[in-house]
Chains A and B, each alone.
Chain A
Amino acid sequence: MATVVITPPLPRIYFNEARFELLKLSRNRSYLFSMIGFPVIFYLLFGVTNKGSVFQGHTIARYLLAGYSCFGAMGSSLFGIGAGLAFERGHGWLEMKRASPMPAAAYLLAKLCVAITFAVGITILLMILGTAMAGVQITTIEGLRLLCVIAAGVLPFASLGLVIGLVMPSNAAPGVINLIYLPLSFCGGLWMPIEALPHWLQLIAHGLPSFWFSRLALRTLGYSDSSALLAWALLAAYTVIFLLAAAFIFRRQEAQA
């Protein structure tokens, strides 16, 4: 009996995986609240209500548009990937997927694509709120550049999410993510200009991926004059470090599985 192995087209699997991942998250209210609710509510509270105010030469609502876009991108990555993976791994669902012919890359790429989609969506939402309610003016080019930075900036945080998802038990993951996410955002200058923080915090900030991510986002709106190349290089380095850590943890878990 000649066996011909027919395989379904891979692009279709990748597409389906991403489509259902998006569907799954967009119906999950608690994730939606963490991922979209936080940045939108904070922006309304601190950005829109400060319409027209200027702090240290920055128009607050415009400055915070970049900051909360980064905040949204980090949340999408850490919750969507970190908490999502922790849940699916912890309850045995990942084993069902792994025993199936689904390519592992399809699973991971779906989660990454959805995190990017949410991050970009949140940024667009904030741009609409900013221009409509807070009198923020941004050009099309600025807007597009910000979106590109946000989309690419998801990578280091998605990789960090992968590490968290592999390590954390599913019930502890959301809490731990908040413990990482909120300090990273605060110290990274996402909520207020870094100059407003105490000197020692500013020193710490320079070691955080959130800081370099926000520098790139702020640059697109003309705020930061720090080197884009350095920021990109550091974000790439963080991505590699987190991915290596994830691979190491995964290997070790495999050996013990």
Chain B
Amino acid sequence: MAASVMIEPRHSTTNKGSAVASLHSVTKKFGRQTALDRFSLELRAGEVVALLGPNGAGKTTAVRLLLGLSQATSGKVEIFGGNPRDRASRMRLGAMLQVGRMPETLRVREHLQLFRSYYPQPRPLAELLSVAGLEGLEERQFGTLSGGQKQRMLFALALCGDPDLICLDEPTLGMDVEARRAMWEQVRRLAARGKTILLTTHYLEEADALASRIVVIQKGKVIAEGTPEELKTADGSRAIRCTTSLTPLFVSAIPGVTSVEQDGNSMLVRTPVPEAVLRAMLASDTTLSGLEVRATALEDAFLALTNQSASVA
């Protein structure tokens, strides 16, 4: 659509896009269990935001609230400046949820035809089939599709209305590597068209590959937020990996060392001051070899973040 403003999607910090959807200090309780605890999230136009967290962190709850499928215990949810339950809001919204089974005796084409009829300006059928990689399967009944094809069918349904905001709840769950990469490519293309995308995932690689902003969530709370790069260096630490004769006990006593892990011959040392620590290690062990220094990968950052939060709680 010509009306949508193109925004460079990969740099959220410079993004001046207007808020498309927001959860404002939302608490959601199921009985005595708190699924979301004063959780806030703002999606700005053109962003790809990944909600990253372990199972049960509250990711799906956040998505369901945003879609108006569930009511917040307290706090405010807004989509396009309105209530997510309004039909007008839903016209501009596409959702791919975790669906176990759907009516199995309808053909791929028929499922799409029905969903397309809900929207004022649906995407052409051929385009949907191509985007979701369902070409040649249009006459197949849903029940005869493979697991990955079923996921792609749900993806296609989310895109039927050519929505401005797309929510993908664990979109690549159960997909093989190839299918996952194909899905990523499609998500990037949507982002390039200026679409706002919220995806939940517990695959770190997926968040890293797609998101302009990652929101790490645990036990219903945001524990970290930023670009993938920012998160990778969030604790400012570096990881030193090497083969050394030094004992973990000795290394952990070096000033500035935050953690030491021995893994067979190889030792992993985390520290915000790698130069000083290395000088000390090299001075004590002239046989030190296989040296490697790197920024902690997102995965390490993620684990560090979640562990940290768990131990504080």
- Confirm or deny: A16 has a beta carbon within 8 angstroms of a beta carbon on chain B: yes
The listed residue (B71, B117, B157) touching A254 by CB distance below 8 A is: B71
Does B101 contact A103, Cβ atoms closer than 8 Å?
no
**B27 → A minimal CB distance (Å):** 15
Q: A257 to chain B: which residues have CB within 8 Å? A: 64, 69-71
Count chain B residues whose beta carbon lies closer than 8 angstroms to a beta carbon of A: 38
Does A96 contact B154, Cβ atoms closer than 8 Å?
yes
- Confirm or deny: A12 has a beta carbon within 8 angstroms of a beta carbon on chain B: yes
A93 with B3: in contact, given A23-B110, A99-B67 (CB under 8 Å)? no
A7 with B106: in contact, given A13-B117, A98-B69 (CB under 8 Å)? no
Does B97 contact A101, Cβ atoms closer than 8 Å?
no
Query: Chain B at the A interface: mostly helix, strand, loop or mixed?
Result: loop
- Confirm or deny: A140 has a beta carbon within 8 angstroms of a beta carbon on chain B: no
- Confirm or deny: A92 has a beta carbon within 8 angstroms of a beta carbon on chain B: yes
**Would you give the 0/1 interface string for B90-115, flagging 1 where the beta carbon is closer than 8 Å to chain A?**
11010101111111111000100111
Does B118 contact A100, Cβ atoms closer than 8 Å?
yes
| Count, A-B residue pairs, CB within 8 A | 93
- Confirm or deny: A56 has a beta carbon within 8 angstroms of a beta carbon on chain B: no
Q: Tell me the residues in window 216-234 of chain A with beta carbons closer than 8 Å to chain B beta carbons.
A: none
Count chain A residues whose beta carbon lies closer than 8 angstroms to a beta carbon of B: 33
A7 with B91: in contact, given A99-B97, A257-B69 (CB under 8 Å)? yes
**A26 → B minimal CB distance (Å):** 8
**Would you give the 0/1 interface string for A1-25, flagging 1 where the beta carbon is closer than 8 Å to chain B?**
1000111100011001100100111
Q: B115 to chain A: which residues have CB within 8 Å? A: 100
Does B64 contact A103, Cβ atoms closer than 8 Å?
no
Q: A139 to chain B: which residues have CB within 8 Å? A: none
Could you jot down 21 A-B contacts, CB within 8 Å? A1-B3, A5-B91, A5-B120, A6-B120, A12-B117, A13-B118, A16-B117, A23-B105, A27-B105, A28-B104, A88-B102, A90-B100, A92-B98, A96-B95, A96-B99, A99-B90, A99-B97, A101-B91, A101-B161, A103-B87, A254-B71
Given contacts A20-B113, A88-B102, A256-B30, 12 further A-B contacts (CB under 8 A): A8-B119, A16-B117, A20-B114, A23-B106, A28-B104, A92-B99, A93-B103, A95-B64, A96-B97, A98-B69, A99-B97, A100-B157
